[in-house]
Amino acid sequence: MHRTGVILLALALASMRVAVAQRSAGSAGGLWYSVGVAPGWARLTCDICAGHRETGVSAFLGVGGSTSRALRVGAELAGWRQSAGGVTQTLMSVGAVAYWYPNLQRRFYLRGGAAIVMHRASDGTDVVTSSGIGPQLGVGYEYSLSRTWRIAPFAHYAVGVVGGDVKFNGGEAAGSATVSFFQVGAALTRK
């Protein structure tokens, strides 16, 4: 599973490198970075899991390059945390992403890519972990704050379905796990 995550991260970095190379070759693109905070909902489903969607605080950080005015690519890291009843849950999503702007006059975008989604729950004694690889999708609408800064309300969803398993204190507890993560919030982007 860790090898797959490294491969996914390498693909994201390679896509950023291509975008930066196109920029230096005179393309209309450029480097971008983005941060966002949002309420988030995480869910773990498996043969022995309850599958409740839990609400918590989430944030994300992204960086990449623009290949054209209509497309930007990059890598993103998102995190989520929730504590209740003595159990702390955390989730992390690492992936490669592309933002496509179908109409350049309007700042509406569609977001797609692939991510590894990892979940961890701990009560201070026992630890349950799960992870999976899958698609990430989203939509948003950017408003200009200045020539280089934009703010965008968004909705993003990532789900790890391939290679999912559940481990209890390091030993396998269940297979066929699905880890999903949904965010609705606002992002600040510099282009």
Query: What is the Cα 93 distance to its own chain's centre?
Result: 5
CATH number at residue 88: 2.40.160.20
How would you write 101-118 as a 3-class SS string?
CCCCCCCEEEEEEEEEEE
Q: Which tokens go with 19?
A: 């975008």
| Residue 14: pLDDT over 80 | no
- Of residues 61, 64, 63, the one with CA closest to residue 19: 64
Contacts for 145 with CB less than 8 Å, ≥ 6 apart: 151
More confident site: 9 or 42: 42
- Of residues 31, 27, 1, the one with CA closest to residue 179: 1
Range of the domain at 81: 2-190
| Residue 31: pLDDT over 90 | yes
pLDDT digits (tens, 9 = 90+) for 46-55: 777 766 778 8
Q: How many domains are there within the chain?
A: 1
Q: Which tokens go with 191?
A: 């282009």
Looking at 15-24, 50-59, 114-123, which range is the least confident one? 15-24
| Residue 11: pLDDT over 90 | no
Contacts for 85 with CB less than 8 Å, ≥ 6 apart: none
- pLDDT grade, residue 128 (50/70/90)? confident
- Percent of the chain whose pLDDT exceeds 70: 83
pLDDT digits (tens, 9 = 90+) for 138-185: 999 999 999 899 999 999 999 998 877 788 887 777 777 888 999 999
Q: How many CB atoms lie within 10 A of CB 138?
A: 19
Q: How far apart are CA 151 and CA 67, in angstroms?
A: 21
pLDDT of residue 131: 87
- pLDDT grade, residue 26 (50/70/90)? very low
